[in-house]
Chain A
């Protein structure tokens, strides 16, 4: 509602006083009118909140084992969503798992967004030989399918959360840098940048004041589209035993350890994967909505 009034006032004034605030306001306004993106966003928010409030929400301790109640099916008394191979409550582990799974899925993209944008913007802004050199190095990483690169790095470095975070960050830097480079190159040749340069502004000032505001939006939208893949890959690494270590509650790892019970307790086994799928598809739809709302074409 507030955004529509803002739009109306913007129509009267040729130059709005605070263009950035108005822009994000209108993006958010358009996003909240997109039912699919709205639902996806709300689901993600709910999962995040439940994860953050895990100690208060989870019925029992996610680490508490019970040899007497192993592999209980869904709907057993005391175990709403069953129990795993060590008799731990699956519901509590799914709730606590949201913390780690979201963290290891989202963090690599955030890291890669910061590093990849920096690399790409510098390459695009400086241009010439530096650009060629940086982009050729980036090209090398395209010689590996993403999954293979992540597994190669994580496999060589050894199991562990930090190593898996690092590997996935490396996987996502090249695509983000590429997008950052291409949008920066477009912006670089625009007249007002020429004007800024002609008036004697330093490169850093031009990047700060004129380039960042124009390129961060598209790069951000692109980065959000990678979160879904990152979620799948991060949990996939844990599934292979390369990310989270037992007994941590993490969805990919839970899927791995409960897999042995697939013939005994099949439907409990698939629950962690259903969570990964839900989060992944919600991020995809939210990202699609954001792309439309920000009118980004990549």
Chain B
């Protein structure tokens, strides 16, 4: 039984190394001298020398990679080429805001997705089912950055109900659990929730329909169990998969939020990436991608382990 858990955990090591290598090589993918990619052209000579020794571009590639990983493990992801600040602190302060947004969006998407999916699964083939399914297809087909603009136009430009940009009053980048800040969260979170909502709706609908077709459901009804109690049995069967899907969706949101954050000027990793792309700030790009990808790897691991805990069949493979 522990074999599965051990194998799954050990599997993270090569993946982490490979992900690190990919992020490391981003600097070399960038056209031109890698040195120009990680330090701004007008940096003072002592900074250039420091960066040169930190990256060791004159040494062979495997050595450079080892150097880079050893620095990364110590929490040193280099300095931003645009403003000279430490990449690690920039990324983690942005990550906090992205997490707030992604978690809010997941909660909205999950609640709506489960509700819609269950309704559609119960009333298969009805007009409600068709409406929900159409809605779900729309949810996964909509360019979410465009949906964000649409919501801004409706609620900020035309109705002037809620603010359209930033994370809080003024240009604050620190978020707090207060109405003044929550107002700023509404539009980006709703925008971002559309994709997980579509995916969860589809999954839950398919699973509910599948489980309702099982004989045990008929047996429960035949023995006279109230429909409410039958429903609980259905929920119990759907929950592990729905939660796993949601866990993975949370990971996709971390990456997918870049476009939405750009639309709403939400001060998270997406906006950071966007600025890094604009200013060709490779260290920030590299650091942010690394942190997000490792976060995604960890999330995948947690989802797999949790699912195996809930459903012993997975462990047996």
- Chain A residues with CB under 8 Å of chain B are 136, 139-140, 143-149, 151-153, 155-158, 228, 232, 235-236, 239-242, 255, 259, 262-263, 266-267, 269-270, 273-274, 276-277, 280-281, 283-285, 288
CB pair B137 A273 closer than 8 Å: no
A-B contact pairs, 5 of them (CB 8 A): A148-B254, A157-B31, A158-B30, A259-B263, A262-B153
Is the Cβ of A273 less than 8 Å from the Cβ of B150?
yes
A140-B15, A151-B273 provided; 14 other pairs, C-beta below 8 A?
Answer: A145-B292, A151-B289, A152-B26, A155-B276, A156-B282, A239-B145, A241-B278, A242-B277, A255-B146, A266-B153, A270-B150, A270-B153, A273-B145, A283-B141
The residues of B with any CB-CB pair to A shorter than 8 Å are: 14-15, 18-19, 22-23, 26-27, 29-31, 137-138, 140-146, 149-150, 152-153, 157-158, 251-252, 254-256, 258-259, 262-263, 273-274, 276-278, 280, 282, 285-286, 289, 292-293, 296-297, 300
Closest to B25 in A: A156
A283: B residues at CB distance < 8 A: 141
| CB pair A269 B285 closer than 8 Å | no
Contact A157:B255 (CB < 8 A) given known A143-B293, A263-B157: no
| Inter-subunit contact B19/A235 (CB<8 Å) | no
Beta-carbon contact of B285 and A277 below 8 Å: no
Supposing A156-B282, A266-B158 touch, asked if A276 and B146 sit within 8 A by C-beta, the answer is yes
Query: A140-B15, A156-B30, A157-B31 given as contacts; is B143 within 8 A of A276 (CB)?
Result: yes
- Residues in A whose Cβ lies below 8 Å from that of B262: 239-240
The answer, among B143, B149, B251, B278, for a CB contact under 8 Å with A232, is B143
Chain A residues within 8 Å of B256, by CB? 145, 147-148
- Which residue on chain B has the smallest CB distance to residue A150? B255
Instruction: Quote the shortest CB–CB distance from A257 to chain B (angstroms).
Output: 13
CB distance from B282 to the nearest CB of A (A): 7
Which residues of B are found within 8 Å of A284, using beta-carbon distances? 137, 140-141
Q: Given that A148-B289, A235-B143, A241-B278 are known contacts, is A143 also in contact with B18, CB under 8 Å in the complex?
A: yes
User: Closest CB-CB distance, B49 to chain A, in whole Å?
Assistant: 24
Contact of B142 with A277 in the complex, beta carbons under 8 Å: yes
Residues of B within 8 A of A156 (CB): 26-27, 29-30, 282, 285-286
- B255 near A148 with CB under 8 A, answer yes
Chain B residues with Cβ under 8 A from A136's Cβ? 14
Interface contact B153-A145, CB-CB below 8 Å: no
In the assembled complex, which residues on chain B have CB atoms less than 8 Å from the CB atom of A270?
146, 149-150, 153
Which residue of B15, B146, B254 contacts A145 across the interface (Cβ within 8 Å)?
B254
Chain A residues, Cβ within 8 Å of B146: 255, 270, 273-274, 276-277
* B202 shortest CB reach to chain A, Å: 11
Note all chain B residues with C-beta closer than 8 A to A267.
153
Write the nearest CB–CB distance from A246 to chain B, whole angstroms. Answer: 14
Contacts of A140 in B (CB 8 A): 15, 18-19, 22
Bound CA–CA A93/B301 (angstroms): 46
Nearest A residue to B274, CB-CB: A240
Residue of A nearest to B281 (CB): A155
**Residue of B15, B29, B143, B254 ringed by the most chain A CB atoms within 10 A:** B143
Contact partners of A274 in chain B: CB under 8 A: 146
B193 to A: closest C-beta gap in Å: 16
Give Cα A232 to B259, complex, Å.
Answer: 11
Q: How far is the CA of A236 from the CA of B144 in the complex (A)?
A: 9
Taking CB atoms, residues of chain A closer than 8 Å to B297 are 143
6 interchain residue pairs of minimum CB distance: A273-B146, A145-B255, A148-B255, A281-B141, A140-B18, A156-B26
Q: Which residues of B contact A259 (CB under 8 A)?
A: 149, 263
